[in-house]
Chains A and B, each alone.
Chain A
């Protein structure tokens, strides 16, 4: 562990255990403009010469806010590392063909929506939206199921930072809820709802997992006062019922059932061995597959080694071009 910064005792212990279990090193890095949820640059995803993983977090997080990010990213690392050590670590990626299938489906759905609209979307904007939306779902599917698993795991393993966890969960939920809001009128309704439903299911699962009595802050924060005497579930549900997209809840409830069905099998308090983290990895893969299937996106994505996803990101402009050519043929100019 390479750090000069103070860390609380359970976090120091967890960092050492993670390093020991995976036979790797973890370095901590403060950055002023880091993602509020922290970033993990790990040896299982990226080609890093030295066997050093880096956890990056906002420089202004000096205390427990930083500790929670470290706990969360260590858990992420353990899940990835456990799967990698068994030669099974894969992520949801895409190929030239799968991009075409996904974009074509989005296009067909968009056409249906556009036909009902008074103010139709300019064709150029519609074309641009196809691939953006496709990759958006790829990103979210590589994030949301794991976020639920990691949060549940940290909750059970790190009781001392639960209040901090509540703050992070609430903040993340708010940010995720705001995602895509600006594109509300552009995106086909089905995808807007599915995207929101996925986050709804994650939030509701966490609301059940993180019991309010333990989490309710004894903090005296004016901004949090309005949440006093409310349960976490109420806090999160209240928000969802206030969104313009209440129908997300209908889809979200089904997704929540899927999440529950998979994650109820997890033994969160099992001995923290590599096998345990590999089981969490498998749960995540199965859960993702089920969500993908529910959203009828099965032929949009493929499970591949992380380096293939990185390579796909590099090729994405080409993939998009080929898909557009297949969808629109000669109707599309070279521009």
Chain B
């Protein structure tokens, strides 16, 4: 029962976060995590909101909690990469993003973070490769979105 309630709370929190109402989102996430601290999604969602609000150290800690519960959680690796990039820990960010892309090769953001960090580390050729992959995915997503929009408009 508590587990189901936690899932519902996460949904609500996510809805608030999507509208950039982070204070409300945190309230729901915190409650959900107190009911079910073993759900990696809760830690991941709170990490995402923490990054959006500039709290990268706390976000990193939440990503690690999510990953301790599920080592193959691609989205959490991706967010970890982003938090590390924001903290200017570029080498670790490359490792996290690489892990994210190996678990989910279609994560445009992870490829982009990898590219940006490699660029920061002066590895320009490798960076271009990662940027290329990120752009490829973004364009495919954009073209799909465009097609759906046209279909919607009839």
Contact = CB atoms under 8 A, between A and B. Distances in A.
For chain A, the bracket of interface size reads: 20 to 34
Contacts, number: 70
A9 B120 contact: yes
B112 A62 contact: yes
A218 B132 contact: yes
Contacts of A9: 116, 119-120
A7 B116 contact: yes
Contacts of A60: 141-142, 145
B150 to A, nearest CB: 10
A333 interface: no
Interface string A160-178: 1001100100010000000
A263 to B, nearest CB: 27
A41 interface: no
Interface in A58-97: 60-65
Contacts of A6: 82, 85-86, 112-113, 116
A221 B131 contact: no
Nearest to B128: A160
For chain B, the bracket of interface size reads: 20 to 34
A220 interface: yes
B77 interface: no
B72 to A, nearest CB: 22
A219 interface: yes
Contacts of A7: 116
B15 interface: no
B125 to A, nearest CB: 12
Interface of B: 51-54, 82, 85-86, 108-109, 111-113, 115-116, 119-120, 128, 131-132, 134-136, 138-143, 145-146
Given A8-B119, A63-B111, 19 more contacts: A4-B53, A4-B54, A4-B86, A6-B82, A6-B86, A6-B113, A7-B116, A8-B112, A9-B116, A36-B142, A62-B138, A63-B108, A160-B131, A163-B132, A163-B135, A167-B139, A218-B132, A219-B135, A223-B143
15 contacts: A6-B82, A6-B85, A8-B112, A8-B116, A62-B138, A63-B135, A64-B134, A65-B138, A65-B142, A171-B142, A171-B146, A219-B132, A221-B139, A223-B143, A224-B139
